[in-house]
A and B are shown apart, each in its own frame.
Chain A
Amino acid sequence: MNSTAAPTRRPIHPPKASASLFPYNPGSLLSASDLTLDAISHILTRASALENQDPLTRDRILAKRRIALLFYESSTRTRTSFELAAKALGADTTLVSSLSSSIEKGESLKDTGLTLRALGAEAIIIRHNSSGAAWLLEAETRLPVLNAGDGMHEHPTQALLDLRTILAHLRPAHLKPATQSVDAETLAGITVTIVGDILHSRVARSNMLLLPRLGARVVLCGPKELLPEMAAQTGPGITIERDFEAALRQSQVIMMLRIQAERLAGLQLDLEEYKLNYQLTGPRLAALAPTAMVMHPGPIIRGLEITAGVADGPQSVILEQVTHGVAIRMAVVERALNLVPNGARA
């Protein structure tokens, strides 16, 4: 050994972590980061085509195919929208929720997934309170799995429907709406500010991973208890701005997140102070971002992160987001079942 005082760099570099743990089923959608720009373009294009298709021909696309919705958490928007989307394509859906199933008796996620597969499910849409659950389900069943929200981790269809909503308003003129194709410049020059409880938000993570790949700048805004500095390292194109008003001034898109009052209490954050600093109010919006789109993944807590006037106001696209969700989920469900294992579309 050399005996110099300065610590030397040691040549001990065992195998690095591998990028992926197991081959994804190509029909799965687990993370927004799994989607190539081509895949995003394909989903957006199919969403528009399916939305405009005659319901009587559309429901032959997945006629009598079986799709299970496995929900470990309550949900209004996501569950209904996935269910309507699958049914619009003619699929049979069944809902398994943790409170009315053998999950209550202690059945594991693995066994629940294998049971659904044995019952003939060809794809599973999962909402789960624990981060990574969708990966486990896919590893155990090898079925196409659609992640409808896993813990604090990701909610990729929300990011896609948010993207579709943004494009509906801010689509650059030179891009032909008919093709719906996107590239790394599609959202160049656009700043999307995500405000609030970033730490616990799967919507924030999926949007942080999706939007910068299309050229958007993502600004995260919130107090450090809800937005640790390291959030900026999640991917490229992400910055932190603690001052809400400074963030608003730069934004074409403002994405407000739900604040859970009990979570603020747990972190010893004062609710009134939070509202003072981060609530999106009419005067604030009018003064600092009079033309920006106001988004919210829901459920909204009126009077907390957003005032009723802003939620119902002309800049709000909150209900449009919900509508876009059905179209996006039709495309994603179709993709789940119409891809054959080698990755080609059938």
Chain B
Amino acid sequence: MTPLLIRGGTLIDPGAGVEALKDILLKDGRVAEIASPGKIKANGSEILDATGLTVAPGLIDMHVHLREPGQGYKETIASGTAAAAAGGFTAVAAMPNTRPVNDSPEITRWMQAADRGASIRVFPIAAATRGSKGEAINDFAALKSAGAVAVSDDGLPILKDSIMRETLAAAARVGLCVIQHAEDTRMTHFSGGVASMNAGPMAFRLGLRGWVNEAESSIVERDIRLVQELRDSRIHLHVAHISTAAALAAVRKARRNGLRVTCEVAPHHFLLNNEHVGMYDTNAKMCPPLRAEADRNAMIEGILDGVVDAIATDHAPHAVHEKEVEFEYAPNGITGLDTALGLSLRWLHKEGKLPIGRVLSLLSAQPAALLNLKGRGTLAVGSFADVVIFDPKAEWTYNARATKSKSRNTPFDGWKMQGKVRWTISEGRIAYTSD
């Protein structure tokens, strides 16, 4: 592999507290040298001219659905990681709700095999329970040896107290984080159907069954109580796609009490509210649903005050024909890998005045720490050569049709974005170059 020399850019490495003009030499998949501009000799390396551009640790999305094995018509590991690379990501953590569910070391390894054609690093998150049915927990040590970075039944909650308690304890013993999809399905599944949007006046007006905030917050509160009762400092509970003010408040309180409880928020939950369902737009249907404006504002507050640990997309590709159906019948989820950086920079940094380093940290250093990804989320010498180089000033308009994902179920088509990715480098190899 030819060494890469990134010249003339502004290095922003929030984990290392660096924000300065630096040249960076990437060699053998690692960061070999960082020095003031012009100090590193080319010596046959390929030179990337990053003048005017920002050079940062490659982004890490700790919550994506790559749909392989089993649903290659929605996405494959190859297509999903190509979209990720175009979005500036150098690593994604893939949820286990595949077909079959990833609850085995075999599937966990299969997902990471070279034959999958991934353009960036894929870290599988294995199912916490067999078939994600919430009844019997898996062998976490074996899953971790196979490469799993966390356990979760995402898409479904780990509902039973006894199973969740066992999951937290067993995951702690092997040093894995438990990621909870906080939804008390006893409050969201009815005899006549499943809740398809946020409960409230809008759901009433549209004649749709509503998903109440308590269905999320009560599970988060229950989980925190279990963590407290277990008294094992190794336990790490992470709340996936948090969406309600009450759940966020519970996380904030748990943290003050010294518990290792973390959470992620998706761009759609800090940018959109349930009014965006409009007249039954299935690209505004996801789980948890778009919430009321007060909850959206609480997500912004949480990002700004630091209780939110990561921005994660919950990238959930679905084929066009699956979304062109009656609202209640449409599957949950939207794509997100293309738009996470552009939306975060535009709304959190440019409009919200959150320092760019903080935004980038939520998208790289912090998720790396949550999943314990050593040598990632930073560009310190010796770490993996996972780099995103982007033009922080460039404004552009997102066109969903141009995506590298197999799906384009996004509510952000036509939205203005800030910050255009020029190169994405995964372990020293260029994974994406803009045209």
Contacts and interface: CB of A to CB of B under 8 A. Distances in A.
A109 B326 contact: yes
Contacts of A150: 207
A205 B325 contact: no
B351 A132 contact: no
Interface residues of B, number: 40
Contacts of B205: 205, 233-234
B348 A12 contact: yes
A12 B347 contact: yes
Size category of the binding interface on chain A: 35 or more
Contacts of A179: none
B278 A128 contact: no
A227 to B, nearest CB: 10
Interface in B285-309: 297, 300-301, 304
A128 B200 CA distance: 23
B272 interface: yes
B348 to A, nearest CB: 7
B211 interface: no
B304 A233 contact: no
B304 A10 contact: yes
A153 B206 contact: yes
Given A15-B415, A108-B321, A266-B191, A136 B326 contact: yes
B12 to A, nearest CB: 17
Nearest to A205: B207
Contacts of B146: none
Contacts of A7: 301
A119 interface: no
B156 interface: no
B279 A135 contact: yes
A282 to B, nearest CB: 33
A20 B281 CA distance: 10
Nearest to B328: A130
A49 interface: no
A12 B300 contact: yes
Nearest to B284: A17
B183 to A, nearest CB: 21
Interface string B178-206: 00000000000011100000001100111
B165 to A, nearest CB: 30
A180 B278 CA distance: 33
A189 interface: no
A333 interface: no
A215 interface: no
Given A21-B279, A135-B280, A230-B201, A10 B301 contact: yes
Interface string A1-27: 100000100111111111011000000
Contacts of A18: 278
Contacts of A228: 204
Contacts of A202: 207
B276 interface: yes
A131 B304 contact: no
B327 A130 contact: yes
Contact of A17 (B207, B276, B354): B276
A13 B347 CA distance: 8
B271 interface: yes
A16 B275 contact: yes
A225 to B, nearest CB: 12
A136 B207 contact: no
A153 B351 contact: no
Interface in A185-241: 199, 202, 205, 228, 230-231, 233-234
Contacts of A130: 326-329
Contacts of A151: 207-208, 328
30 contacts: A7-B301, A10-B300, A12-B300, A12-B348, A14-B272, A14-B347, A20-B278, A21-B278, A108-B325, A109-B325, A128-B326, A130-B328, A130-B329, A131-B208, A132-B279, A132-B280, A135-B280, A136-B325, A150-B207, A151-B208, A152-B207, A153-B206, A205-B207, A228-B204, A230-B200, A230-B201, A231-B204, A233-B201, A233-B205, A266-B191
Interface of B: 190-192, 200-201, 204-208, 270-273, 275-281, 297, 300-301, 304, 321, 324-329, 347-348, 351-355, 415
